[in-house]
Amino acid sequence: MNRSNSAEFYSLRKDVENVAARVRQLLDSADLEQQEAVLADLENQASDPAFWEERSKAQKILSELNEIKDRVNLYKTFRAKVDDAQCIVELLEEMESPDAALKLEAAETVSWITAAMDRFELNKLLSGTYDKEGARITITAGAGGTDAQDWAEMLLRMYQRWATRSGFKSTVVESSPGEEAGIKSATLEIDGRYAYGYISGEKGTHRLVRQSPFNSKGLRQTSFAGVEVMPLLEESEIEVEIPEGDLEITTCRSGGKGGQNVNKVETAVRVTHIPTGIALRCSEERSQLQNKIKAIALLKSKLLVILEDQRAAEIKEIRGDVVKAEWGQQIRNYVFHPYKLVKDLRTNVETSDISGIMDGNLEPLLTAYLMSKQSSSSPVPA
Amino acid sequence: MAVLRGSVELVIPICERPASKSTPLAKLLRWRSQSRHKASSISTALSELDGGPDSSELLTELEWLLDDAVEKCGRGDRDDLDQERNDTLAGHGEIFLRASLEELEQGWKERIDRRRPFQYVTGSSHWRDLVLGVQEGVLIPRPETKQLIDLAAAAMDGNSELARGVWVDLGTGSGAIAIGIARLLDGRGSVIAVDASEVAIAVAEANARRYKLQEAVTLVKGSWLTPLRDEAGKLSGIVSNPPYIPSRNLGRLQAEVGKHEPICALDGGVDGIDHLAEICQGACWALKSGGFLALETDGGEQAQTVAKILSDKPFEDIKVVKDFAEMSRFVTAFHT
């Protein structure tokens, strides 16, 4: 081999060694054998003819089984790919003139393993109780008039694009158009594992600075939009009892006589948890009763998340004032003019690629926030 | 699509029709997009005019219409397909529909241009946890009315004997109240549903059948309690949402109601209490001792008037109950 080839080769070999070490470390701490034993035991349970007699228990076991299966397969894939890369390196060492295709294959394998391990380690940070669930995002236009309503719609698109890029399915379950443009509010449901874990940090106020297309003089304007995030929980997961007297339920009748006088799609229901002041509006189902049921389920989910955030043991202990303060907190600035900058106020991460951000490329911001949350709290369980 | 019941043409709700029509997906999405534009352009014009729907309500209705009409393509999928428009449509071909694209176009046009009620366009009304068939000639069940079922349930809780008796829904319309009560009774008692309109009787009967309650609910054509003389002193409960709008207000109603729903289901006479008063009068002889009466009213003053009427008759425990919008909507009482 000539000099430049050997330099390249040694660099490649070093990369493969690093990645191999990383994978080895992971497999050591993961105890692959033990995981496979657990998997075999669960599969045994699932093949028992009496397995489905207790439906919810069966579903829990099945979901645990799938989780472990995925993990075990991933570990095995890592191990296999490292073996491949190491084989190629050995081959290349033997060869007189190094094969370009082989070098490329090794380099790509290293890239793949690195990206997959990064993602895997990020997922380990998502160890909150609800992180594995899908997410429900509500965006509400704040101060700024039509410009803020347009801003809210831009944020909605941003999250939709992020969801698609990340391989999640998303549905707009509710939206209220603004009078002239944009939206007053909208709710987006994102289906997929860990969606909530990734996106829950988005809750708070997002601030926009730009030359507003809705300002007749094209002046620079500041607008705000609020984002709320909740996990999508199954009925069975919402194990919290709330006394009926603690809930205030109102329907959104726009004043006036109601009853026979009116025929409108006003099935929206607003549920308020009186002790904490936390309220929720649901308008996506076709009857008031269904909206009431869904609103209460969503309210319970919200309370469960707050319980977790505030590390409270019971709903009684939730501090409503703290909740309000948190959800109004400004978390990110997006500046379009006179310069282009997106800055996350919690991690201080900034980027001038604002169009990339609006296009849904949120990873750098999300990852930085997740890691900062991780380092400021207790160590992640293995 | 309709079926003949006696001399009444029963409309089949779109959601119950077979998905036997089809249309190229691109055409459907194009129509959806145009309709969204049309709905958005309405903005607040109709709600300012007569309390009609605004854009966001119309957009919601459009999605519900598509939910009913389109087989196997929920809203999330529709949004996805819309966004992927340029790349993947060629491969998707035809999409199956329960109502043809022409019917959907016609229906939506009637919704916007003529203010035809959404529920008549889809042929169905989602009420409480029921999906009821409705059509022109039958009042579309209102959300407030479902509280009558809750009030009846409370009465049965207080006196379990009541659940074993005969209950009457006066002015049954689509049969909503009758079906709600029949489900509470759960076979222990039975329901008689009365209406003067032949269309209502046919529609209510079809709805009872939908919920397998044709044995529990008996339909009787007639005016209020007149056809039930034989049940004098035997009824456990009378529940009703009779026409209660004062005649002078009829001209000011939102077009969906005033121009399309049956006036005979809305017109309550001079102060709106003509039918309420007649029912209160009839309840005196029709209910057994301890029997329950629950009435929906135009709210506020009218509710107080009805309570006053009852206080001069053999009734006790007369209550005026608020609905979820804090309006004094219902009057309940027990026969002494």
Q: What is the ipTM of this complex?
A: 0.90
Q: Are A269 and A253 in contact (CB under 8 A)?
A: no
Report the DSSP pairing between strands B21-24 and B94-97. Answer: antiparallel
**Exposed/middle/buried for residue A119 (C-beta within 10 Å: 0-12, 13-18, 19+):** middle
Fold of B143-335: Rossmann fold (3.40.50)
Q: Which residues of A touch B119 (CB under 8 A)?
A: 263
How far apart (Å, rounded) are the C-alpha atoms in residues A25 and B105? 63
Residue B272 confidence (pLDDT): 96
Structure tokens at B84: 């992927």
Handedness of CA B243, B244, B245, B247 (dihedral sign): positive
Cβ–Cβ contact A261 with B under 8 A: yes
Residue A112 confidence (pLDDT): 84
- What are the structural domains of chain A? 1-125 (1.20.58), 135-236+323-377 (3.30.70.1660), 244-317 (3.30.160.20)
Residue A379 confidence (pLDDT): 47
Residue B186 confidence (pLDDT): 93
Taking CA–CA distances from A266, the nearest residue in chain B reads B57
Q: To the nearest whole angstrom, how far is the Cα of A135 from the nearest Cα of chain B?
A: 15
| Least reliable range by pLDDT among A85-89, A215-219, B242-246, B310-314 | A215-219
Residue A265 confidence (pLDDT): 76
0.80 cut: is pTM over it?
no
Q: Are A207 and A213 in contact (CB under 8 A)?
A: no
Q: Which residues of B touch A283 (CB under 8 A)?
A: 60
For residue A380, what pLDDT band results from cuts at 50, 70 and 90?
very low
How far apart (Å, rounded) are the C-alpha atoms in residues A85 and A90? 9
Residue B183 confidence (pLDDT): 96
Residue from B144, B241, B296 to probe the interface with A (highest A Cβ count within 10 Å): B144
Percent of chain A surpassing pLDDT 70: 93
Q: To the nearest whole angstrom, how far is the Cα of A3 from the nearest Cα of chain B?
A: 48
Given an 8 Å threshold on Cβ–Cβ distance, is A257 in contact with B126? no
Q: Are B189 and B159 in contact (CB under 8 A)?
A: no
Residue B76 confidence (pLDDT): 59
The ranges assigned to domains in chain B are 2-122, 143-335
How far apart (Å, rounded) are the C-alpha atoms in residues A131 and A373? 13
Give Dmax (Cα) for chain B.
74
Q: Which residues of A touch B64 (CB under 8 A)?
A: 286
In total, chain A counts a number of residues equal to: 382
Over the stretch A153-170, which tens digit does the pLDDT of each residue have? 999 999 999 998 888 889
**CA B175, B179, B183 angle in degrees (round to 5)?**
175
Helix axes B301-311, B274-286, angle to 10 degrees: 30
Which of B52, B53, B298 lies closest to A259 in CB terms? B298
Nearest partner of A220 among A332, A351, A336, A358, judged by Cα: A336
Residue A155 confidence (pLDDT): 97
Which of A169, A249, A264 lies closest to B57 in CB terms? A264
b/e map A295-306, b = 16+ CB within 10 Å: bbbbbbbbbbbb
Over the stretch A14-31, which tens digit does the pLDDT of each residue have? 989 999 998 888 888 777
Q: What is the pLDDT along chain B (336 residues), one digit of tens a residue?
A: 788 878 899 999 999 999 888 888 889 989 999 998 899 889 889 989 999 998 888 988 998 999 899 876 666 566 666 655 444 344 467 888 999 999 999 999 999 999 999 999 999 999 998 999 999 999 999 999 999 999 999 999 999 999 999 999 999 999 999 999 999 999 999 999 999 999 999 999 999 999 999 999 999 999 999 999 999 999 999 999 999 999 999 999 999 999 999 999 999 999 999 999 999 999 999 999 999 999 999 999 999 999 999 999 999 999 999 998 889 999 999 999
Cβ–Cβ contact B324 with A under 8 A: yes
Which of A177, A253, A258 lies closest to B40 in CB terms? A177
CB proximity list for B71: less than 8 A, separation 6 or greater: B19, B95, B96, B97, B98
**CA A266, B59, B1 angle in degrees (round to 5)?**
90
Helix (H, G, I), strand (E, B) or coil at B137: coil
Q: To the nearest whole angstrom, how far is the Cα of B138 from the nearest Cα of chain A?
A: 12
Cβ–Cβ contact B111 with A under 8 A: no
Which of B44, B57, B249 lies closest to A179 in CB terms? B44
Question: Where are any strands of DSSP class E within A101-211?
Answer: 134-141, 169-177, 183-191, 204-211
Interval A39-48 mean pLDDT:
87
Interval A284-301 mean pLDDT:
88
